[in-house]
Amino acid sequence: MRATSLSRFWRAAAGTAAIEFAILAPPFLCLAFGVYEFGRALWTMEALQESVTQGARCIGVQSTSCYASGIYSDANTISYVQNVAQGWGISVPTADIVPTQSTTCGTVAGFAQVQITYQFSTVVGSLIPALANETLTATSCFPDNP
Q: How confident is the model at residue 86 (pLDDT cuts 50, 70, 90)?
A: very high
DSSP notation for 43-90: HHHHHHHHHHHHHHHHHHTT-TTTEETTEE-HHHHHHHHHHHHHHTT-
- Provide the sign of the torsion angle of the four alpha carbons 27, 28, 32, 33, taken in this order: negative
Q: What is the pLDDT of residues 95-106, one digit of tens each?
A: 999 999 999 998
Residue 131 in this model has a pLDDT that exceeds 70 = no
| Structure confidence by residue, pLDDT tens digits, 22-80 | 899 888 888 888 888 888 889 999 999 999 999 999 999 999 999 998 899 999 999 99
Question: Distance (Å, rounded) from C-alpha 75 to C-alpha 94?
Answer: 9
Strand, helix or coil for residue 92: coil
Contacts of 120 (CB under 8 A, 6+ apart): 41, 44, 133, 134, 135, 136
Q: In which band, very low, low, confident or very high, does the pLDDT at 122 lie, cut at 50, 70 and 90?
A: confident
Q: If you average pLDDT over every residue of the chain, what do you get? A: 87
Distance between CA atoms of 25 and 85, rounded to whole angstroms? 36
Q: What is the pLDDT of residue 12?
A: 64
Question: What is the pTM (predicted TM-score) of this model?
Answer: 0.80
Under the banding of pLDDT at 50, 70 and 90, the label for residue 85 is very high
